[in-house]
Structure 1
Amino acid sequence: MSKAGADEGGAGGCGDSAKQLEAKDEKGGKLLSKPSAGSGWTKVSCPCCFSERVEPLVLVKLGGKVGPETKRWLIKVIGAPQKDGGAALLAHPGEDASGDIIVVSAPRCTLLRAAEELGLCKTYRSGDMEAFSYNDRDNFKDSDNMEVFLTLAERQYIVKYELDGLRVQRDLRIPGLPESRMLQKRDNIWQKLSSAGVVVDTFPLHNRKKLKDLGEAWYSGNQLAQPLDSVNDYFGSAVAFYFSFLDFYTWSLLTPAILGLAISYFSGEVKKEMVDSVSGSKVIINDDDSGPMISGHMLQAMFSMIWSTVFMELWKRRSSSLSYRWGTMNLAERFAEPRPNFYGDLGVNPVTGRVEPLFPEWKRDLRMVLVSVPVVGLFLGLVVLGMMCFYWGEAQVKQLHKDWNSLLSQALLYIPSVLHIVYTNMLGNVYRNVAQSLTEYENHREESAFENHLTAKILVFTFFNNFAVLFHIAFFKQDVPLLRKRLASLLIVSQLVNQVTEVVIPFLVDRFISAPHRTESEDDPKEDKFRNQRTLPVFPGLFAEYIELLVQFGYLSLFSCVYPLTAVLLLINNITEIRSDAYKICNLFRKPFSPPVANMGVWQVAFEVLSFVSVISNCWLLLLSPRLQELCREGGLSSTNVLLLAVFGEHVLILIKFIMAALIPDEPDWIRKKRDQMEYTSMQALKEQKLQPEVS
């Protein structure tokens, strides 16, 4: 960082007094509003960035031992122009220079430049969405009003984006800190300040009025539709895509739920199976009444395979429409600055030409092969160990029930399933923390690469952890009654556990422990209100939510033919899940930073993989049907011929799925045309930029 960037602030002094601001106003500038009397925001150097009101966007919490000298230096760095190594943001010291917070906002030009870097699309004067260009900013609608042009989530993320991108331009000593904390050239300032205890926390601030309005339109009323555009505006596209998918998935469950109810009602054998799955008794097949059972289960299996394909293809179309509407279909993630936690030896990036930390690919691959893969394998082995213990416990309680034949022994039949569910949930929680540490150790340069590798680790374990027992029962033990009972246990117990752990416990903790410490009145200083938001726990992200939906989708698409009421139970759970998740993110956690995203990313691939595997699973389960086996015997087919026939049917169904996926385009035709039009416009703009020097 240059001397100007580090010591002078470039954009003006830190914490100008109210008199100084008023004097500036008298000279023709516009008065910048201030959260509290006695101190003000850092000045802006660009005339178009002056505003009559500055919106507090992000709160930076400093360590308790940080002195005024260090705080003043940090405010100058935040406010310095980017050419001087600063973030070109607006900073406010809170009560005074000795306080432990800094309130951060962003001027217009910084927001607009970052919007172009991120590849956001905005409404052009023609009314169409176009990739935003800073040089053409005046032709974009509402580009002079940042609160309309950019969503609150985008403005807050841009502040984080600029702070995370702060890098030292030369070796520099931080005022007020010992020499051992000296910054080296190209060090990430924000990461170093966090490790030194200078910056304790950075989080976006709630807008209480907007949050209240959103809550009334989202979970407080009786409306069925979700205000997805308002969710995108306040919490960002990553959160909005999750709730949009949850909403689309929930209402898509109506069709399989109605079919499952019809099969359960009209098939006497299926009714008996439902009772047997709850009571734990052995299913006795009545050959005289096997017709409805076979037709019902076959219909359910065939429908599940087709439904999963149609559902995913229609979701991709909806996803692309939302991406266009929210301006995220043209995001630019390439050539970005390395993620803050990325480390390596300083060198010149051969692609961008920037001086930055470099880390060899072979070293990262070696870490993944020698460390990550064995650790993931160890946890998969723990899953197998838990499965073996489940089988041993299942055999013990069955023998106990056979000897006692009482209500108590009948209740004990469910103990192994319950204990195994608790074990898998606990193992999953531990594994998520381990996966986070492993991915950090791999040292990925881009944030997207980090998220993809972390998600891949989670998905592999989640699939194995939740479906290993079910696949073993279906494919190896070939025990359909046990599979049905196990699936019923998972659906009922896991949903009860999730509702308690995700909603009831956080609500009780917030209501009786956290909330009393956050009591505030209208007369309280804004700084105290900002601090109160830090008492809320950090939002844990959407990993657990997506995993829950993925497991649900697996139960439905892979095994619902043995338990037709699966969709009914999932529908009931998800109707409450939408509101409970909305309440939770609005009230029980801090507001999260939300990067703009174009879709669900790796999660969408995971759902498509499960949709593909559903063909194999359902074909195999149909092969285990007693009635179908009897028909094959009556037809004189050997076991080998039956297996070959099943494999042939499986390949036909897979082919049908591919044909259906091809017939349903991933994007509506109008979206494809808009994308081509945006690409053409960008090419023309680039061509004009190249010709300008020659003309001049």
Structure 2
Amino acid sequence: MLPEVDLVITFRASRQGSLPKRQALEDARKAEEQYSRLIKVLTSAGLRAVGRRGESLGHLLVFVSCPTSHVHTLIKRERHSDFLHGLPTTPVNKEEETQPLCPADRIRLVHAFICSMPPDGGLGITPDSPEWNLVESVMALHDRKFNEHWIHAWTTSRLVSVKQERLREQFGDSVAMYFSFLHSYTQALVFPAVLGVLFYFFGSPYSPIYSILIVLWSVVYVEWWRVRERILSLRFGTRGSFRVERRRAQYVEGFPWWKHELRMIASLPVILLFAGVLLSILTGIFVFEAFVTQLYTGPGHKYIAFSPTILFIALVPRLLAVYQAIAAKFTAWENHAHQSSHAASLTVKTFALSALVAYMGLALSAFVYVPFGEGIMRIVQVWLFKGSVHVDAVADSHNITASALNATEHTKGMWNVDTSMAGQKLNAARLRDQMFAYTVTNQIVNTFVEVGLPFVLRAVGSFRAKKSNGNGNGKGDKKKRVVFEDEKEKGGEEEREFLETVRAEAALPEYELFGDYSEMVTQFGYVAIWSVIWPLAPVMALINNFFELRSDAFKITVHNRRPIPSRTDTIGPWLDTLSFLTWLAAVVNSALVYLFCPRSQNHCNAAPSTLDKVHQHIISAASVGGSTTSKQEGGDGSAATRELLFTALLIALAASHGYMALRALVRHVMEKALWNGSTEVRTRENDEREVKKRFLTGLVGPAEVGVNGRSIDGGEVQLDSEKDAPEKLAETVPVEGLGGFWDHDEGVQEIQRITKEA
């Protein structure tokens, strides 16, 4: 029979790599001392703890189990803490006390007891603590039966056949909240998907109606989820769980609030610096990819199109890795008391630059390349051949002079210097191609990285390990074989298989919700902000999320350790991020419609638009030594530029204020329709009333609570029920004060006097 294990503590007794003999002996002595102290602390606290060999020499697995009596103590302690801090508390009776605890709550309670700091009633055994620097992690083991049932559910029928409560019982509130968000968001995508199909095949491009409807949808969904997560938190019993959150091991006590705020502000210049560097890199790659690669005609011009991708892979991930390391240090320096605020701060810092990478390419294409691409292409040509080529932007032929041709004869074979061909070098479908790449190609790649790549990496790692053991004159195989024979003698074949499973799980990475939330929020931005470019984007997002529900479930059960359950009542900073994206969607959609929505042909033929004038101004600016005509057009172009910017600013302000009014209206409607009077709210109110009633009854004693908190024996009335309370109160109210004051009433007599006077 397999042992009942609540948690496994991974302990690394020796460092990786070869060490001098003296250093190895000293490390072994310290490891033995810390390991003995670890076992002593666990067993002294009433837990069962035993160590087994891990995957390699010096790697230990400490199995921890909490007795049932101790679990009941932890339950009562948590209930008392919840009651004192105002969390939803269900009245406790004898039947509920005997009900079994769900696996997620049991793991969470034991994990909190082990990893919480002593001031919070825990043992303080955490990998982040200097006192336990050899403790690598505290992990939970997968429930193989549930995982198989879950996988079978989404491969044969529907994923939602595994109810939300079952997920919460296995993985805790945070994972259940994520899957609830993902499922509701996927269902909400049906409306924009249908809308996109209709407008793609039957509507006009950059339709104002589509933009208005998509912004309305995004606002409605975000505000609906804002209420939905509050209802879920009541259902889970975690509303206000941040009040009982344990402190982090790295938190420094006595830290003034103003110093914490100043440190958070101090990180802003660093974020802006990295954002500026990232914008410069992305803009440079964009100019190189959109313009320079189109002008190069020399050797290898077929392959130069790959150079922007190579530059992106070489520069952007490295910059983001450096930034993320610095952001993590800044977040730790801010000294957050709780893990939720620490994670929220790090999430905002990290996602800010990730969003720039995701949306910057589309922004440059939409607001630079498409409206002004021809003029910028000519500017790039002039810049590449400055001093050698004279460009006459006003001449109809746009031909290069003979002297310029002679001066650039050695470059004609490598670069296209004919400015008359600038417009033909532009890609009219660039925006749609980018949207297809972001919403289809990238999501296919992400799915492979999440599901397929771990199999490849494990196969490569296993092959290298076998090859290394084979080249190590048999020592690795011998060591492994001795370990297995020793385990077989002590625990038998069943224990050996169990330990192999645990070792395999210990080698897996920890599961983090950040990547999954980031992927879905980024996708929401593509749909809400940019789908007016390509209305089929919501359809692709819906199809992707159908598989995303399953790939995330597969990733949790196969490629990651079991998530440590945690209490939460919200999706955290991602809700504010969604709100910001809806505001950005209102502004960007209005700008895109203003720039690209087809106007009346008669109006367009009668006079050029402001955008056309600005474009012509850029083309004129590309000329070298422009003529008087070009200068006049330049003056008109400057006025047109000011007009365009002023109009765009007014449209952005109108869209922003319209968004705020719409959000306020939708939030009010959602509050009234979904929150007020909901089943969860009524249940919580009844539970709170019952808890307070039992609390007051316990204070008074066995006698029932009466008027002023005293029973009938104390000289006052007992209220048996609310129904007969007024009658009993009327019968027993004592007469005190002025003797005859309460004996007669003058109201009726006064009214009768009015009748007589009339």
TM-score (norm. length: structure 2)? 0.65
Unpaired runs of 5+ residues, structure 2, are 14-27, 373-427, 467-479, 485-491, 611-642, 703-708, 712-758
The residue number in structure 2 matching 1:662 is: 668
Listed as ranges, the matches of 1:362-401 within 5 Å are 362-370=258-266, 372-400=267-295
Residue type of the alignment partner of 1:74: L
Larger Rg: 2
Match status 1:500 vs 2:444 = no
Q: Which of 304, 314, 337 is the matching residue for 1:445?
A: 337
The residue number in structure 1 matching 2:512 is: 541
Q: Which of 539, 545, 549 is the matching residue for 1:578?
A: 549
The residue number in structure 2 matching 1:416 is: 308
Aligned-residue offset at 1:197: 4.2
Change in 2 beyond 3 A, CA 1:631/1:416:
farther
Aligned residue-pair number:
565
3-state secondary structure, aligned to 1:200: strand
Residue type of the alignment partner of 1:78: L
In 2, Cα distance between the equivalents of 1:307 and 1:217?
A: 31
Q: Which of 219, 235, 238 is the matching residue for 1:309?
A: 219
Residue type of the alignment partner of 1:240: A
The residue number in structure 1 matching 2:169 is: 233
Match status 1:78 vs 2:47 = no
The residue number in structure 2 matching 1:288 is: none
The residue number in structure 2 matching 1:333 is: 242
Q: Is the 8 A contact 2:200 2:536 kept in 1?
A: yes
Q: Which of 451, 457, 477 is the matching residue for 1:509?
A: 457
Change in 2 beyond 3 A, CA 1:632/1:421:
farther
Structure of greater relative contact order (alpha carbons < 8 Å, 6+ residues apart)? 2
Residue type of the alignment partner of 1:616: V
Residue type of the alignment partner of 1:293: P
In 2, Cα distance between the equivalents of 1:396 and 1:120?
A: 67
Change in 2 beyond 3 A, CA 1:600/1:631:
farther
Match status 1:261 vs 2:269 = no
Q: Which of 76, 93, 97 is the matching residue for 1:138?
A: 93
In 2, Cα distance between the equivalents of 1:392 and 1:299?
A: 33
3-state secondary structure, aligned to 1:562: coil
RMSD across aligned C-alpha pairs, in angstroms?
4.2
Residue type of the alignment partner of 1:445: A
Change in 2 beyond 3 A, CA 1:448/1:559:
same
The residue number in structure 2 matching 1:435 is: 327
Aligned-residue offset at 1:300: 2.1
Listed as ranges, the matches of 1:589-628 within 5 Å are 589-628=560-599
The residue number in structure 1 matching 2:434 is: 486
TM-score (norm. length: structure 1)? 0.70
Aligned-residue offset at 1:449: 1.7
3-state secondary structure, aligned to 2:175: helix
Match status 1:106 vs 2:66 = yes
In 1, Cα distance between the equivalents of 2:39 and 2:458?
A: 33
In 2, Cα distance between the equivalents of 1:514 and 1:691?
A: 68
Change in 2 beyond 3 A, CA 1:632/1:509:
same
Q: Is the 8 A contact 1:166 1:188 kept in 2?
A: yes
Aligned-residue offset at 1:568: 1.9
Q: Is the 8 A contact 1:417 1:489 kept in 2?
A: no
Aligned-residue offset at 1:477: 5.8
The residue number in structure 1 matching 2:386 is: none
Residue type of the alignment partner of 2:215: M
In 1, Cα distance between the equivalents of 2:334 and 2:365?
A: 36
In 1, Cα distance between the equivalents of 2:351 and 2:73?
A: 36
Change in 2 beyond 3 A, CA 1:479/1:680:
farther
Q: Is the 8 A contact 1:316 1:667 kept in 2?
A: no
Residue type of the alignment partner of 1:304: I
Unpaired runs of 5+ residues, structure 1, are 1-32, 36-54, 81-85, 123-129, 170-184, 268-291, 345-356
In 1, Cα distance between the equivalents of 2:692 and 2:223?
A: 30
Listed as ranges, the matches of 1:50-449 within 5 Å are 55-64=4-13, 65=28, 71=35, 73-80=37-44, 86=45, 88-93=46-51, 100-115=60-75, 131-132=88-89, 137-139=92-94, 141=96, 143-146=97-100, 149=101, 151-167=102-118, 188-190=124-126, 195-218=131-154, 220-225=155-160, 227=162, 228-267=164-203, 292-293=204-205, 297-325=207-235, 327-334=236-243, 336-342=245-251, 344=252, 357-370=253-266, 372-400=267-295, 416=308, 420=312, 424-425=316-317, 427-449=319-341
Change in 2 beyond 3 A, CA 1:246/1:425:
farther
Q: Is the 8 A contact 1:121 1:131 kept in 2?
A: no
Change in 2 beyond 3 A, CA 1:266/1:335:
closer
Q: Is the 8 A contact 1:264 1:565 kept in 2?
A: yes
Q: Is the 8 A contact 1:435 1:458 kept in 2?
A: yes
In 2, Cα distance between the equivalents of 1:410 and 1:484?
A: 23
Higher alpha-carbon deviation: 105-114 or 241-250: 105-114
Higher alpha-carbon deviation: 554-563 or 647-656: 647-656
